[in-house]
Amino acid sequence: MSCTTILVGKKASYDGSTIISRNDDGGFDAKKILVMEPGKQPGKYKSVIGHLSLKLPEDPLRYTFIPNVSKKEGIWPACGINEANVAMTATETITSNPRVQGADPLVKYQPKKGRKEKEVPGGIGEEDLVVLVLPYIRSAREGVLRLGSLLKEYGTYEMNGIAFSDADEVWWMETIGGHHWIAKRVPDDRVVIMPNQFGLDSFDFEDAYGKKKDHLCSEDLREFVEKNHLDLAQGNEFDPRLAFGSRSDSDHIYNTPRAWFMARYFLPRTFKWDGDGADYTPESNDIPWSFVPEQKVTIEDVKYLLSSHFQGTPYDPYDRVSPLHGKYRSIGVPNSDDSGILQIRGYLPEEIRAVEWISLGGSGFTSCFPFYTNVKTLPAYLSGTTERISTDHLYWHSRLIAALTDAQYYSAVILDERYQNAVLNRGRALLQEYDGKILSGAPASLLEEANQKIADMVKEESDHALDAILKNASEKMKTRYHRNDN
Q: Tell me how many degrees the CA angle 209-214-215 measures, rounded to the nearest 5.
A: 45
Q: Given a cut of 60, is residue 1 above it in pLDDT?
A: no
Same domain, 216 and 273: yes
Grade residue 486 by pLDDT with cuts at 50, 70 and 90. low
pLDDT in tens, 20-49: 999 999 878 999 999 999 999 989 999 999
By the 8 A CB rule, do 97 and 228 touch?
Answer: no
The reply to whether 138 and 195 lie within a common domain is yes
Q: Tens digit of pLDDT for each residue in 321-353?
A: 999 999 999 999 988 899 999 999 999 999 999
Active site residues: 3
Q: Which structural domain, as residue segments, surrounds residue 346? A: 3-365
pLDDT of residue 362: 80
pLDDT exceeds 70 at position 483: no
- Percent of the chain, pLDDT > 90? 93
Q: What is the pLDDT of residues 347-387, one digit of tens each?
A: 999 999 999 999 999 878 999 999 999 999 999 999 999 99
Q: Does 203 lie in the same domain as 340?
A: yes
Question: Looking at the predicted structure, is the pLDDT value of residue 70 above 90?
Answer: yes
pLDDT for 247 equals 92
Residue 374: inside a domain: no
Same domain, yes or no: 63 and 129? yes
Q: Check: pTM over 0.95? Answer yes or no.
A: yes
Q: Is 310 in the same domain as 271?
A: yes
CA angle 415, 417, 422 (to 5 degrees): 100
Whether 412 and 352 share a structural domain: no
Instruction: Give residue-wise pLDDT tens across range 181-230.
Output: 999 999 999 999 999 999 999 999 999 999 999 999 999 999 999 999 99
Looking from the CA of 165 toward its CB, the CA atoms found within 13 Å total: 32
- Do 409 and 348 sit in the same domain of this protein? no
Per residue in 441-458, pLDDT tens?
999 999 999 999 999 999
One domain, residues 126 and 11: yes
Residue 28's pLDDT is 86
pLDDT at 482: 65
Tell me if 199 is assigned to some domain.
Answer: yes
Give the chain's domain count.
2
φ/ψ region of 470 (left if φ > 0, alpha if ψ in -120 to 50, else beta) reads alpha
What is residue 119's DSSP assignment?
P
pLDDT of residue 238: 96
**466 inside domain:** yes
- pLDDT tens digits, 275-304: 999 999 999 999 999 999 999 999 999 999
Same domain, 278 and 390: no
Q: Are residues 419 and 318 in the same domain?
A: no
Nearest to 292 by CA among 321, 271, 308, 312: 271
Which helix (H) or strand (E) element contains residue 475? helix 446-475
Q: What is the pLDDT of residue 485?
A: 52
Residue 312 lies in a domain: yes
The reply to whether 483 falls in a domain is no
**8, 104: one domain:** yes
Q: Tally Cβ neighbours within 10 Å of residue 442.
A: 14
Q: What is the CATH number of the domain that holds 311?
A: 3.60.60.10
Is the per-residue pLDDT at 105 higher than 80?
Answer: yes
Residue 395 has pLDDT above 80, yes or no: yes
Within a domain: 370: no
Average pLDDT of every residue of the chain: 96
User: Minimal CA–CA distance to 131: which of 208, 50, 192?
Assistant: 50
Helix (H) or strand (E) holding 356, with range, is strand 354-360
Residue 373 lies in a domain: no
As a 3-state breakdown, the chain gives helix, strand, coil percent values, each rounded to 5, of 35, 20, 50
Residue range 241-264: mean pLDDT, rounded = 96
* Tens of pLDDT, residues 308-320: 999 999 999 999 9
Residue 346 lies in a domain: yes
Residues 279 and 411 in one domain: no
**Nearest 5 degrees, angle CA 64-CA 65-CA 67?**
150
